[in-house]
Structure 1
């Protein structure tokens, strides 16, 4: 136990240092910030839940002491606690009676759904903690952008009225995009942590390709309800619904990419098609929405299961 606690302390220190890169302003600041949950994931997956929890607690405490209590609390809610919980779920198993006894692992499908819901709750908490107010934020953003463009472009800078539609669009979408980005960071770190622990020979769980994960129909129902509520309900309730829709929707986008991976196995130009799909998703929202739609459709029509029907097993 002492070793696992020490591992967790080291992971927490590493996570806090990676997060601190965000305030450096260098080109590597954001990539290093995105990888800040990775040490916690490695500790939790390789050395157990206690290591992950200790790492999450120490990282949040160090960030709170160095930057401020709000920053530490938000890191705990948004990244540290969810990644430690995800590592716990990935390593969770039970032994079923039989000859010989069978070890059953907690499903990755259920892990992704729970992580999506945890992210939605975290974004709602963060929004209330920071006092998210779209109109105020739009006004402040327009003021900053106008001042910045006026320095560079002088009299040819676009007017406030010309800038407002784009700024309003992006800030209105912020609950969706913040939830999507947060879930993406957590899933990336959980996957990378599992790969690293597997390479070290310490991953007890049998490896399963990530593209085999399929969200259940109930998640599609929750996504539909959250989307409707986000457009219909006003104020904080609508923003909360948007965060739920963003998290679950991005979860479906991930399963949509998984479905695309599966459907293209053995096909010509598979690598090129996947590269273009991922590249476009980093720039535009539409490809992510299309992948989410594919993920929802696959939940009901089982495209990848049909693709491998009749085979002895999926590759």
Structure 2
């Protein structure tokens, strides 16, 4: 049975408690502060653990319970935001990672890790794009909808400008507008990374508990996006040159699918340094630069996009091993 959704009282109880745990984390996040910011990074984790450890139906139950609790105890808008930005992407990712079980068979049998990340990316991108469209029609223009973000950004940038922390040529008014337009895309891309990290962590916890039904894949070889993902990324780049909602939608597509391609580039690097004596050092430096500098995202995304076409990892695997040099005798 591909899906482990056994309807026992114990499993049903676990799914309900998982929903309560997910709602509790989201409630702490909604209160703000440093604690809320830290907990925000773990918001999808209970749903991932329940879905991967006890079955995707129980994961869906936990997501629904958490959404209903937040809708009634906090506000319907909070529940809707949680459903679109947290519950749905987390469950779709876990569903794909479980093989997309349907009628006692798996619809996804290969490249499970990439399909799981792609499912979360599509859900997040559509949710943010939907917000951009609704906000544009509700406020009359996208700039009006982003005014609260722009105002906060202006206060921060203006203070930095007065304290000589920004170059004199930078105008805080213009710069705050650019920051406001970039915020939806940044949140979509960053939320995707959080979802993927929690999916991996949830699967790791389920495997450590002996609950993971599927074998753990070789992610560096298994993660292969379809070529259409690179095409969607290119479409986002084309849209981003326009002003208004079209440009904002393009940036959202670029941030989410660019993150996916960056992960594929990382997979290529993992395969090419595998087995070398310096692999741990190279990967440590690379991840450090990703976390603290950020700019390696661009070349890694380019490498990932090229890999969707040229299949560098397959060529590496098919290449004959390099002969060892004989030891020199005295």
Deviation at 1:38, TM superposition (A): 0.6
Whole-angstrom CA distance in 2 between matches of 1:155 and 1:190: 42
CA distance in 1, matches of 2:127, 2:152: 28
Per the alignment, residue 122 of structure 1 pairs with 127
Choose from 95, 116, 134 the match for 1:88.
95
Structure 1 counterpart of 2:211, from 183, 191, 202: 202
Are residue 186 (structure 1) and residue 191 (structure 2) matched?
no
Aligned residue runs from structure 1 range 227-306, under 5 A: 227-232=237-242, 234-306=243-315
Contact 1:121 1:244 in 2 (8 A): no
Give the Å deviation of 1:146. 5.5
Corresponding residue for 1:219?
229
3-state SS of 1:35 partner: coil
For 1:103 and 1:148, locate their aligned partners in 2 and report how far apart those are by CA, in whole Å: 49
- Pairing 1:24-39 to 2, within 5 Å after superposition: 24-39=31-46
2:21 pairs with one of 11, 14, 26? 14
Contact 1:94 1:103 in 2 (8 A): yes
RMSD: 3.3
CA contact (8 A) 2:265 2:301 kept: yes
- How far the C-alpha of 1:188 sits from its partner, in A, is 1.0
- For structure 2, list consecutive stretches of 5 or more residues without a partner in the other structure: 1-6, 322-330
Is the 1:263–1:307 contact (alpha carbons within 8 Å) kept by the matching residues of 2? yes
Larger mean CA deviation between 24-33 and 289-298 belongs to 24-33
Identify the match of residue 144 of structure 1 among 149, 152, 158: 152
C-alpha distance in 2, partners of 1:16/1:104?
Answer: 30
